[in-house]
Amino acid sequence: DGGITQSPKYLFRKEGQNVTLSCEQNLNHDAMYWYRQDPGQGLRLIYYSQIVNDFQKGDIAEGYSVSREKKESFPLTVTSAQKNPTAFYLCASRPGAGANVLTFGAGSRLTVL
């Protein structure tokens, strides 16, 4: 079955540590997105990528980094520069230009201790 796999589902991190969240899709989608969800604030865009080796900052990119070396993979690194990283992170993808519907992964919940 095609879909988006996010791992790990739950992650605990000590302050000052970087952590990488994995996002893999087998849908052959061109575009991939990372969102952060906090209670009462909906989804906020961190980064998105339209094609391999290219990505753009979203509204809250500070303290995060991404890479897009392969079409199917779009990992997100939460760096120690992110002041309040505890949140639910959602990865999404869509086929590409003109295609509208975002398909989401199951999410990763990061807790900083």
Partner 1 sequence: AQKITQTQPGMFVQEKEAVTLDCTYDTSDPSYGLFWYKQPSSGEMIFLIYQGSYDQQNATEGRYSLNFQKARKSANLVISASQLGDSAMYFCAMREYRGNQFYFGTGTSLTVIP
Which residues sit at the interface with partner 1, rule CB under 8 A? 31, 33, 35, 40-45, 48, 50, 56, 58, 88, 90, 92, 100-107, 109
**Cβ 106 to partner 1 shortest distance, Å:** 5
**Cβ 13 to partner 1 shortest distance, Å:** 19
Q: What is the residue whose two structure tokens read 């989804």? A: 43
In the complex with partner 1, the residue whose CB is nearer, 16 or 42, is: 42
Residue 10's SS3 state is strand
In the complex with partner 1, the residue whose CB is nearer, 24 or 80, is: 24
Q: What are φ and ψ of residue 67, in 5° steps?
A: -145, 155
**Cβ 9 to partner 1 shortest distance, Å:** 9
**Cβ 50 to partner 1 shortest distance, Å:** 6
In the complex with partner 1, the residue whose CB is nearer, 43 or 80, is: 43
Contact yes or no for 4/92 (Cβ under 8 A): yes
How many CA atoms lie within 13 Å of 104's alpha carbon, on the beta-carbon side?
A: 11
